[in-house]
Amino acid sequence: MAATRASSGARSFLPVIIVAGPTASGKSALALDLAREFDGVIINADSMQVYRELRVLSARPDESETAQAPHRLYGVLSGAEACSAGKWREMALAEIAACHQNGQLPIVTGGTGMYLNALINGIAPIPDIDKSVRDTLTAELESLGHTAFFAKLREQDPATAANLDPANSQRLIRAAEVLRATGHGLAHWHGAGMLRPPEGMAFLKFCYMPPRDILYDRCNRRFDLMIDQGAIEEVRSLLAQNLPSDSPVMKAVGVRELGAYLAGSLSLEEAKTLAQRETRRYAKRQLTWFRHQMPDRETIDAQYSETLTSKLRNLVHQFLLTAPK
């Protein structure tokens, strides 16, 4: 069954299915099931799965899965590129528009809350900023130290600085780069109005929220599987590119830990234990985010089953029948 727009003369109905949840929760299986059932296209909303270099460590869909339904925005960027929420939103909206143009149902799936929030609720219209600005400010932060860097930023942009943690390097540099590149601080841009979803776009949000003990066990077992699938060689190849340590791709769970193993400072068992712990911590943060930031979700806390599948398919059917008259 294909997704449809509202009939001619009516306001456009642009349905989008969101399948969200923490890492290793099972959301990819649901997205694939819905894509098969509703002539859907799966659009990635995971900040690490956009990178070509992280096929294994990001648990990107394999060939058997991509053969069953179209997948978009997986492995589309080089690790040398930074993918912001704004950049991802532009790419996702283009893919969503293509789906609607072709009569297909866009199914956006992933666990990066900032990306999903930018799509669903909008984002401040901050212009793209050249990487050289960030590189310069990163060097300044290292030279001045956090206290002096924050003091300088507070003097230049007190409204933005009032909401910053002086110890958070990433947020300090982001605030400083926006100010330097645009002449206005983040507080100004956030007050300038949001870039909202296109008119007529409607979202049905599913969110996997498994019991924590089940989720943590899946996290542990999945990292073991990643080792078997070639994660060590993947990290070896990534490190050979000599990318800056603050590159988003270098922050993927497993890169630092397996990098330490390859450098000889950790045993493989130690690296696995640390990576599994970081995966569990990341999953916990994701659970917390979805619990508080996506209140109008359809929560899925049961094991995947035929009964559950039937219920979720019915919810999608009902949603697709809500086109405005």
Instruction: Tell me the per-residue pLDDT of 166-176, one tens digit each, with 9 for 90 and over.
Output: 988 888 999 99
Confirm whether residue 197 is marked as ligand binding: no
Fold match flag (14-123+195-320 vs 131-190): no
Confidence label for 1 from pLDDT (cuts 50, 70 and 90): low
Confirm whether residue 27 is marked as ligand binding: yes
Answer yes or no: is pLDDT of 97 > 80: yes
Res 8: pLDDT: 37
Output 85 or 322, whichever has higher pLDDT.
85
Confirm whether residue 45 is marked as ligand binding: no
Answer yes or no: is pLDDT of 145 > 60: yes
**Of the given ranges (181-190, 229-238, 258-267), which has the lowest mean pLDDT?**
181-190
Confirm whether residue 26 is marked as ligand binding: yes
User: Which H/E stretch holds residue 141?
Assistant: helix 131-144
pLDDT one-digit tens code per residue, 275-309: 999 999 999 999 999 999 998 999 998 877 778 88
Determine contact, residues 258/232, Cβ cutoff 8 Å: yes
Average pLDDT of the chain, as a whole number: 92
Strands 40-44 and 71-72: parallel
Our CA angle for 62, 68, 70, nearest 5°, is 85
Confirm whether residue 138 is marked as ligand binding: no
Query: Which contacts (CB < 8 Å, 24+ apart) does range 260-263 have?
Result: 261/232, 262/232, 262/235, 262/236
Q: For domain 131-190, give the CATH number.
A: 1.10.20.140
Find the mean pLDDT for residues 53-75.
97
Confirm whether residue 25 is marked as ligand binding: yes
User: Would you list the domain boundaries of the chain?
Assistant: 14-123+195-320, 131-190
Res 6: pLDDT: 40
Confirm whether residue 29 is marked as ligand binding: no
Exposed/middle/buried for 17, CB within 10 Å: 0-12, 13-18, 19+? Answer: buried
Answer yes or no: is pLDDT of 191 > 50: yes
**Of the given ranges (39-43, 168-172, 203-207), which has the lowest mean pLDDT?**
168-172
Confirm whether residue 288 is marked as ligand binding: no
Which pTM does this prediction carry? 0.87
Res 129: pLDDT: 87
CATH class held by domain 14-123+195-320? alpha beta
Q: What is the rounded CA–CA span in Å between residue 71 and residue 73?
A: 7
Residue at 133: amino acid letter: V
